[in-house]
Each structure stands twice: as structure tokens, then as C-alpha cells.
Amino acid sequence: MRPEIVGKSALLRGFLVILVAFAGARIARAGELDTVWAAASAEARIAARFASRNIPYPPRAVTLISLKSEARMELWAEADSGWIFVRSYLVQTTSGGLGPKLRQGDHQVPEGVYRVSALNPRSLYHLSLRLDYPNAFDQKRGREEGRVRLGGDIMIHGDRVSDGCLPVGNDAIEELFVLARQVGVENVAVIVSPMDLRRLPVSTASARAVTRPPWLTELYAEIALTLQAFPLPSADSVLPRQQQASFAPQGVARCERYDAAECVRQCERGDLRSCARAGVLYSGGRGVKADTRKAWTLLSRACDGGDVLGCGALSDLVIKDDGLRRDVARAASLARTACDGGDGHGCVVLAQLCNDKLFYSDRPDECSKENVMRLRQRAVNTLASSCSGWAAYDCYTLATIYAPGDQVTAVRYAKGSCAAGDPSGCELLASLNRRAG
């Protein structure tokens, strides 16, 4: 599909079209991307994002900040005013645990301050950026402790599999690859931190590390100091960690089903269940134009007030956010709260986070195969299967549960959801029918 170039003027749009066509042709000839159009599309996406932030493109230098606990990779660009946040990417899976890499074969993602040393256009995982691990700090500590085989070949790459690397998916690696080519690998720094040490103390990170060498506090202090150059902008503030007193299973919202305007009105009158329903409609574009900002406000209000449906839906927004609120650990906490409070949607989100190995759980066996099955069964037992009224949303979620292995049941629930007025149910039904041929 032809990429949409977003600009603030016709002149800017025209410039971007010329830029991406030229860069796409140049890069594709070198073999980095499969086609000229793929290169141009990637360049268009990232250039448009820079334009939306009023950041000159290409920048002088960029820094990638990968936060393991949050599964968030931040892109920052150097400008005359300092470092400016551009966007975030989801790190698609975990490897090992929190804590630094010590030796070859330990499956750990390194932690520290690195540089990109090379680009690999023929990666097994689409494209990749090689990190200069082990760096001087890693080598010094290895010599002091007699560790010889420190490992290597640590990459930021496409796809969603990892053994000590940082997979960000194919679309994301295409953007990062063309950006690195534009600025030069010598101008790309990478900070890998166990968690966001701008918000959390070094002691918290040290306590959660799976291995604690004697120099761990020194390493984390260095990372925290380096991160000070990348302050969290107020406009992209991280979702506050609410202190909810109690949660209750969802009840019946006062607003009419799938009537977003009425749900907002009832929300403003104090009905938290209507806040949650309105948030679900705006987050998914169900019968109304999708509005992520409005969804954040509505779902946060519902969740803060103890509505578990609001917390479950908010967890999904936290994962999908492409700003600084993306935080998979926070999403898991919200989904867990929702699931424990009786919301089946939250159980589904938590099961999917576990299945995709997206977060480092500090609860033994939370993500075991057996517990993931239990979470899905809890969702099936909790969600309404009548598909009438607001239960159309429940039936949509039930269809997603059954879709991987039970086409007949998935189609039945998708049909019920669609017939009851859930647009997402109709979309899923069409997808299931296409799959069936």
C-alpha cells in the first residue's frame, strides 16, 4: 500500500517524496531491503515521524535506548537544542533475565552503553544493526574475573525471536536500518538498561537482576548517569502508577451499547463503567473514529476508580503506545489486576504477554504453559457468550481465543459479535473466512 506522507505544508510533502524515492533507490541497489518500494516506504515512515516532531531529517546523530523490563526501545535524535524523543518501538520478546551478559551461551541481553559497529543487510532476521559488545567495560570485567568467552554477535534485528538480541519486528528494523545508513553507524549509540533508571532507583534494578556481580551497581550507576541526557518530556509523560484501593467486576454501563457519545456523557456524570466502555470504543475505533488520546483519558479514569474492564483495556493501550508510556511490565500489572478482579479481557492480555514472552515476570511459573492455559480458561469462564448488547465485545474476545485452534467456534463467536454490532467482530469474521478459503 502506498505510504502516506505526513507534512505540514505542500513543500514539505514534496520534499519527503523526493527524499524517500532517492534514498529508497540508493539503499535497495546496495541490497539492504528487498525492493525499492520497501526502502522508500521505511524512509517515508521515519522521515514523516521526524517532521511531525519538528526535527530536522536526517539528524546529526541518534541514540537508541532499550529498556528490558519495559520492552521499550526509544529513538532519540540530536538537534541544536539537545536530544529530542522521536518515537518508541516494542522489543518483541525477552531473552534470559534482567542483568548483564557475562559469558557466551548465557542467553542474556547485554546491558551497558554501546555503539552500532556495523549494518547487516543479509541478516537471518530481515535486517540487523550489530552492537559493539563486548565493549571496553565488558572486556575489563571479564579479564578481572577470568572470563574469556564473553560472547558476541549481539544485534538489533527484525522478526520476534531472540537469543541475547533485541528483536523489534521487520517494519521497525527497516526504519532503523535506513536511518542508521543516513546518519552513519559511527553516529548511532545504543543504551541497554535493565529498566528505566530515570524513574526507578539503581537499587531496584540491582535487586531484580538474575546475576549480581560485584560491579553491578557501578554499571547501573553509569547507565543512569548516561540516561540523564534523555529526560522524559512532560508531553510524553509516563503513565502514573495508580494506587487503586479496590476493584470490582464489571457491571452494566448506563450508556447504550456502542454509543460513544452517550458513554462519555455518562462517564462525566460519574459512571465508571461507561468510562471503560467509551474507552474501549475509542481505543479500537468501534463505531467511532479511533482516538488514542481520548481512550487513555477514559480508561485511566475507569481503572483509577476500580473498574477492571478499564484496567484490562488500558493494559492493551500501554503495549501499543509508540511514545514513552509503552511499558510491558506495567501492562502485565494492569492485566493481572483486571484478570484477578474478574475481567476476562485482562486474562487474555496477560496470557498473550506470557505466550509471546514479552515481559520478565517476577512471579514463579506465572508464564508456564499450564498457567497460560488456566488464564485462557478463566477468560472463557468469565466472558459473556450471549453476544447481545455489550457482550458483543466479549464474543469478539472469545473469537480471538479460539481462532488459533478452533475455527468453527471462533467463527461462531465472531458472527455473534458482528451481528450484535461490534465492528471488530465483523473484521475478525472476514479474516477468519478468508483463512478458511
Residue written as cell 515512515?
45
Domain boundary among 360, 382, 404: 382
For residue 284, give every residue at least 6 positions away whose Cβ sits within 8 Å of its Cβ, in sequence order, or none: 290, 424
Of 314, 326, 321, nearest to 278 by C-alpha is 314
User: Are 296 and 312 within one domain?
Assistant: yes
What does pTM read for this prediction? 0.88
For residue 413, give every residue at least 6 positions away whose Cβ sits within 8 Å of its Cβ, in sequence order, or none: 385, 387, 395, 396, 398, 399, 402, 425
Q: Phi and psi for 17 in degrees, rounded to 5?
A: -60, -45
Query: What range defines the domain where residue 262 resides?
Result: 243-382
User: Are 415 and 314 within one domain?
Assistant: no
**Contact between residue 162 and residue 94 where contact means Cβ atoms under 8 Å apart:** yes
User: Are 102 and 206 within one domain?
Assistant: yes
In a domain, 173, yes or no: yes
User: Are 331 and 207 within one domain?
Assistant: no
For residue 290, give every residue at least 6 positions away whose Cβ sits within 8 Å of its Cβ, in sequence order, or none: 282, 283, 284
* Residues facing 65 on adjacent strands: 74, 191
Question: Looking at the 3D structure of the chain, how many domains does it have?
Answer: 4
Domain boundary among 382, 400, 425: 382
**Contact between residue 354 and residue 323 where contact means Cβ atoms under 8 Å apart:** no
What one-character-per-residue DSSP string does 246-270 give?
A: --B-----SSPTT-HHHHHHHHHTT
In a domain, 57, yes or no: no
**Contact between residue 334 and residue 71 where contact means Cβ atoms under 8 Å apart:** no
pLDDT, tens digit only, all 437 positions of the chain = 333 333 344 433 444 444 444 444 444 444 445 556 677 899 999 999 999 999 999 999 999 999 999 999 999 999 998 999 999 999 999 999 999 999 999 999 999 999 999 999 999 999 999 999 999 999 999 999 999 999 999 999 999 999 999 999 999 999 999 999 999 999 999 999 999 999 999 999 999 999 999 999 999 999 999 999 999 976 555 454 444 445 655 568 899 989 999 999 999 999 999 999 999 999 999 999 999 999 999 999 999 999 999 999 999 999 999 999 999 999 999 999 999 999 999 999 999 999 999 999 999 899 999 999 999 999 999 999 999 999 999 999 999 999 999 999 999 999 999 999 999 999 999 999 999 87
Task: Give the cell for residue 270.
Answer: 460519574
